[in-house]
Amino acid sequence: MSVVERGQKERGPHKPQRSPIVLTPHRLEEDIQTEPETSRPPVNVLPPRVVGWAVLAGLATAAIVGVFMQSRQDRQPADQVLTDAARAARLATFQSHGPLRLSAVPDAARLEVLAQMGMEPQARQALEQDLVEGRAHLGWLTLWDDQVQDGDVIALTGAGFSRTIALTKQPQQIAVPISGQGDAFVVKGIRDGGAGITVAATTDAGTVPMPIMAPGETFNLILSGA
């Protein structure tokens, strides 16, 4: 037996060698993570009740604005009636009228009326002395806004008396100190509600329209007793 044959016999029968198996891991579908979606900001949706209140608030605001604008439109035509010719006519009527003759305040109401005149103590004391001695008496002056009541304000000053008057369509009766010969009072425009300060006086002889003023303008008003 040769040496080769003896070696093969000692090793036993030849077995073919297998190549090693390499296992490749497989990914299951549930293990595959999808890409996260791009985050979007949440959409705020107001409840229906809130939306309803917002709509009602908007309608109410629109209604208020509409009423305000309509009131201005309703007032404008009356103010526009006072053209330059109308203003000139008022001034001419006032200048041609002369002193306004006022009706006297009854003596029985003198103390009550004096307390309501708001005079300074020294001026009131002097007026009371003139009233007692017959150098002066109290007369009723009636003023009102003879056009549109729009917030016109005037001041009346004279004979130690001063009063600020907010004009209205309702005539206002004011007690003023006057003498038989006539006293000059100053009428001054304080506030213009629109298209000029309009004021008129009512006497026993009728209504006397006065010049239209702007704030700060003045004119003299002559008052006398009956």
Q: What type of residue sits at position 184?
A: A
| pLDDT surpassing 70 at residue 206 | yes
- What is the average pLDDT across 128-146? 94
| pLDDT surpassing 60 at residue 103 | yes
pLDDT tier at 225 (50, 70, 90 boundaries)?
Answer: confident
| Bridge-based pairing state of the strands 183-191 and 153-158 | antiparallel
Per-residue pLDDT reduced to its tens digit, 51-80:
566 556 666 665 564 544 444 444 444 444
pLDDT tier at 181 (50, 70, 90 boundaries)?
Answer: confident
Q: What are phi and psi of 133, to 5 degrees?
A: -85, 0
| pLDDT surpassing 50 at residue 32 | no
- Domains of the chain, by residue range, sit at 49-80, 84-225
Helices and strands in the chain, H and E counts: 5, 9
Separation between Cα atoms, residue 82 and residue 88, nearest integer Å: 9
- Sign for the CA dihedral angle at 61, 65, 71, 73 comes to negative
Nearest one of 135, 116, 113 to 126, comparing CA atoms = 135
Residues forming beta bridges with residue 138, ordered by sequence position: 177
